[in-house]
Amino acid sequence: MKAIRTIPLALLLAAAILLTGGRRIDLRPAMAQFDQALIPAMDYAMQGNSDQAKKAVFFLEHRWQRLRGQLQGRFPAEEPQLCRIDEWLADAYYAIDANCPYLAANQMEHAKYELMVLRGLYDIPYYLDGLYDFQGGLEVLAEAACDEQLCLMEWGEVEHLALGLQREWRQLMLGPEDPAVYGFDKEGLAQLRFEQRQVAEALQTFLQATAQGSRAHIEGPARQLQAEFMDVLRKFGDYRGTQSFFAGQGATEVF
């Protein structure tokens, strides 16, 4: 009788790791679906539209619970961070219910930041993080441009910040590399490309306005730049889904 060959245990373990790793679920679609719900909720809150924000949180909570389950399964050690997101979102829901939409937007911003930190910790490439980083710099630029004292910034600092944003935007215009993850079909991607070009043009207009050396010449272009950027960001939000989900919930309470 031939001797039965035994396979080393270490080899079996290595094979098992490779096999399970190959079947690992890509978390980005669930993350993008969460942001599809988050973007309208924050948008309505920042507009001070409490009625629409109240409707949006139903969809947001639904998408969060679905994403949370996947994150908890993949990163069990990050439960404290997931609990912080729970708390930020719960606080936002209560603020919206109390007709404090701007406070709610701030709290949702904290939840968004926690997820950005998590993706950075595990090197998860995610196009929207680039947009969110750009948005942060743009808010600083716009606030300075709309303040008579430039928020105590030097004129050269304003120009430097605008040039940095322009460089960032040139890179962002190359993405997303995987548009299907964010729900874009061919037509939707073409619309996104158009809006991206509008932001590039608005940035160039702002930089040309800085050559005048006067704050009065940059306030209007700064506001227009913000508006053009929001048109890009809204492409990643599911505003129809937000409305239809609320309509299907009836009297269900999220608060």
Tens-digit pLDDT profile for residues 121-153: 999 999 999 999 999 999 999 999 999 999 999
Residue 9 lies in a domain: no
pLDDT at position 254 is: 58
Assigned domain for 1 exists:
no
pLDDT of residue 11 exceeding 80, the answer is no
Give the Cβ contact number of residue 196 at 10 Å. Answer: 20
pLDDT of residue 67: 98
In a domain, 5, yes or no: no
Mean pLDDT, to the nearest integer, of 223-239?
Answer: 98
255 band by pLDDT with thresholds 50, 70 and 90? low
**pLDDT band (50, 70, 90) for residue 252:** low
Alpha carbons within 13 angstroms on the beta-carbon side of residue 237 total 21
| Number of structural domains the chain divides into | 1
**pLDDT tens by residue, 71-128:** 999 999 999 999 999 999 999 999 999 999 999 999 999 999 999 999 999 999 999 9
Residue 141 lies in a domain: yes
Instruction: For residue 77, give the H/E element and its range.
Output: none
CA distances from residue 117 to 35, 104, 186, 200, 233 in whole angstroms, order as listed: 15, 20, 31, 27, 20
Write the DSSP symbol of residue 91.
Answer: H
Please indicate, yes or no, if residue 22 is contained in any of the structural domains. no
In a domain, 47, yes or no: yes
Q: Is the backbone of residue 250 left (phi > 0), alpha (psi -120 to 50) or beta?
A: left
16 within domain boundaries: no
Give this prediction's pTM.
0.88
Instruction: Taking residues 165-180, report their average pLDDT.
Output: 97
Confidence category of residue 190, pLDDT binned at 50, 70, 90: very high
pLDDT per residue as tens digits for the range 27-43: 999 999 999 999 999 99
Residue percentage of the chain with pLDDT more than 90? 86
CA distance 137 to 21: 37
Domain of 110, in residue numbers:
28-249
- Which pair of tokens denotes residue 17? 């790791």
Domain membership of residue 14 (yes or no) is no
CB 250 within 8 Å of CB 210 = no
